[in-house]
Amino acid sequence: MTRRGGVIALVLAVVALAVAAVVVVVGLNGTNGKGSAENERDPQPGTTQDAAPPPAPVETPTECPETTVPVSNPTDLMTALDAAQPGDVIGLAPGVYSGNFTASAAGTAEQPITLCGTAESILDGGTTDDGYVFHLEDSSYWVLQGFTVRNGQKGVMVDQTTNTLIQGLTVTTIGDEGIHLRKFSTDNRVLANTISDTGQRKPKFGEGIYVGTAESNWCDVSNCEPDRSDRNEIAGNTISGTTSENVDIKEGTSNGILRANSFDGSATVDADSWVDVKGRGWVIAENTGVNSPQDGFQTHEIVDGWGTENVFRDNDAQVNGPGLGYSLKPVRDNVVECSNTASDAGEGLSNEPCTSG
């Protein structure tokens, strides 16, 4: 071969290597050498083009802050609640505190009022037929942490209360609902609680967590106006053994978050889903549910304009039932993103096509 021929051969070899490198790089970028059009197709229901990151854990403290007001019996607890001041940490010693307890003091953002104990610190209402085991009303900036609530018609009732944190409680054996945010209670967080065995008095009232007020009760609770219990976050809770919905979000409530909760509908006898969203503008994300009698998640428009503008994202519905993973009634302005999944749902993922988000 002549020198000129050798140079030409070398140039051709370099060009060939460069072309191969481009093909490899393009392939790694997801086109497999076929161009970008094939990768712009909408994802199929229940799938995503890219794997979603795992949900961020909902972490809560495992120990109480340093106690400033120690209590060890029901009388001491009632006295401490009546006299509570910003910055107080009311520490519940292990034991059974029999009675119904009410608090109405206000903390501050810098100095919340804390009521804290362990699972062995048990507030016991004595009967599932009557009374609120713990009632927080006309309050702000409380922390309820770590203790057990049992044996009341309602477990924890929160009325006209803002900026309060309910975390790590065990709520069990309740006549009606376990935890209820009501009467214009806004900007509260309900995190990492364990709720079970509700509806012992009447199954149709046995929700695990209940937000707002049904329209039929607005004149009794919220001066005949929508109960705007808005911007509440319900996250990281484990809910089972409820005779009605695990979570019921009522008409009149807006812009809340329901995230990273675990639902089990095995005991549900007076509802047909884990979650019923009748509010507006809620984000329902990263939840897991098993064993529903009909559907996994539902929306309903009980009052015109409510039950709309809600978004379902990254939920895993293991329905094991005859209905849908996500049932939208109305469909209007509600979104089921394709990052949601549904398994063993007799009617499939959703009554409307999913969106790519």
| Residues 130-164: tens digit of each pLDDT | 999 999 999 999 999 999 999 999 999 999 999 99
Task: Give domain status of residue 48, yes or no.
Answer: no
Query: Does the pLDDT at position 16 exceed 80?
Result: no
Q: Where are the alpha helices (DSSP H) in 48-155?
A: 74-82
Query: Does the pLDDT at position 24 exceed 70?
Result: no
Percent of the chain with pLDDT over 70: 84
Per-residue confidence band for 62, with pLDDT thresholds at 50, 70 and 90: confident
Query: Does the pLDDT at position 202 exceed 90?
Result: yes
Are residues 11 and 74 both part of a single domain? Answer: no
Q: What pLDDT is recorded for position 55?
A: 65
Task: Give domain status of residue 357, yes or no.
Answer: no
Are residues 171 and 233 both part of a single domain? Answer: yes
- The owner of tokens 């018609």 is 153
Are residues 132 and 233 both part of a single domain? Answer: yes
Q: What pLDDT is recorded for position 53?
A: 60
Per-residue confidence band for 43, with pLDDT thresholds at 50, 70 and 90: very low
Are residues 250 and 147 both part of a single domain? Answer: yes
Q: What pLDDT is recorded for position 50?
A: 46
Q: What is the mean pLDDT of residues 101-127?
A: 98
Name the pTM for this structure. Answer: 0.85
Task: Give domain status of residue 119, yes or no.
Answer: yes
Are residues 322 and 226 both part of a single domain? Answer: yes
Task: Give domain status of residue 333, yes or no.
Answer: yes
Neighbours of 91 (CB within 10 A): 21
Query: Does the pLDDT at position 54 exceed 70?
Result: no
Are residues 275 and 161 both part of a single domain? Answer: yes
Angle at 35 between CA 29 and CA 41, to 5 degrees: 90
Neighbours of 206 (CB within 10 A): 27
- Residues of the chain by 3-state class (helix, strand, coil), percent to 5: 15, 35, 50
Q: What pLDDT is recorded for position 11?
A: 37
Three-class secondary structure of residue 238 per DSSP: strand
Task: Give domain status of residue 287, yes or no.
Answer: yes
| Rg of the chain (C-alpha set) | 26
Q: What pLDDT is recorded for position 3?
A: 40
E-strand ranges in 301-339 read 311-313, 316-321, 324-329, 335-336
Indicate which CATH number applies to the domain containing 120: 2.160.20.10
Are residues 164 and 83 both part of a single domain? Answer: yes
Q: What is the biggest distance separating any 2 CA atoms in the chain, rounded to whole angstroms? A: 107
Query: Does the pLDDT at position 14 exceed 60?
Result: no
**CA end-to-end span of the chain, whole Å?**
61
Q: What pLDDT is recorded for position 10?
A: 38
Give the whole-angstrom CA distance, residue 252 versus residue 300. Answer: 12
Are residues 81 and 205 both part of a single domain? Answer: yes
Per-residue confidence band for 32, with pLDDT thresholds at 50, 70 and 90: very low
Backbone angles phi, psi at 25, to 5 degrees: -60, -45
Are residues 20 and 107 both part of a single domain? Answer: no
Query: Does the pLDDT at position 91 exceed 70?
Result: yes
Per-residue confidence band for 273, with pLDDT thresholds at 50, 70 and 90: very high
Looking at every residue in the chain, the average pLDDT score rounds to 88
Q: What is the mean pLDDT of residues 180-195?
A: 98
Are residues 15 and 149 both part of a single domain? Answer: no
Lowest pLDDT segment from 32-41, 222-231, 255-264, 286-295: 32-41
- The owner of tokens 């959703």 is 350
- Please classify residue 43 by burial: count the beta carbons closer than 10 Å to its beta carbon, then call 0-12 exposed, 13-18 middle and 19+ buried: middle
Percent of the chain with pLDDT over 90: 81
Residue 272 is classified by DSSP as S
Task: Give domain status of residue 63, yes or no.
Answer: no
Are residues 12 and 156 both part of a single domain? Answer: no
Query: Does the pLDDT at position 310 exceed 60?
Result: yes
Tens digit of each residue's pLDDT (9 = 90 or more) over 224-236: 999 999 999 999 9
- The owner of tokens 């064993």 is 291
- The domain in which residue 115 lies consists of 69-350
Are residues 177 and 275 both part of a single domain? Answer: yes
Work out whether strand 89-92 and strand 95-98 pair parallel, antiparallel, or are unpaired: unpaired
Tens digit of each residue's pLDDT (9 = 90 or more) over 75-88: 999 999 999 999 99
Nearest by Cα to 287 from 324, 265, 259, 256: 259
- State how many domains the chain has: 2
Two tokens at 109? 């953002």
Query: Does the pLDDT at position 172 exceed 90?
Result: yes
- Please classify residue 202 by burial: count the beta carbons closer than 10 Å to its beta carbon, then call 0-12 exposed, 13-18 middle and 19+ buried: middle
Q: What pLDDT is recorded for position 61?
A: 79
Q: What is the mean pLDDT of residues 98-113?
A: 98
User: Residue 144 belongs to what H/E stretch?
Assistant: strand 142-145
Task: Give domain status of residue 282, yes or no.
Answer: yes
Task: Give domain status of residue 64, yes or no.
Answer: no
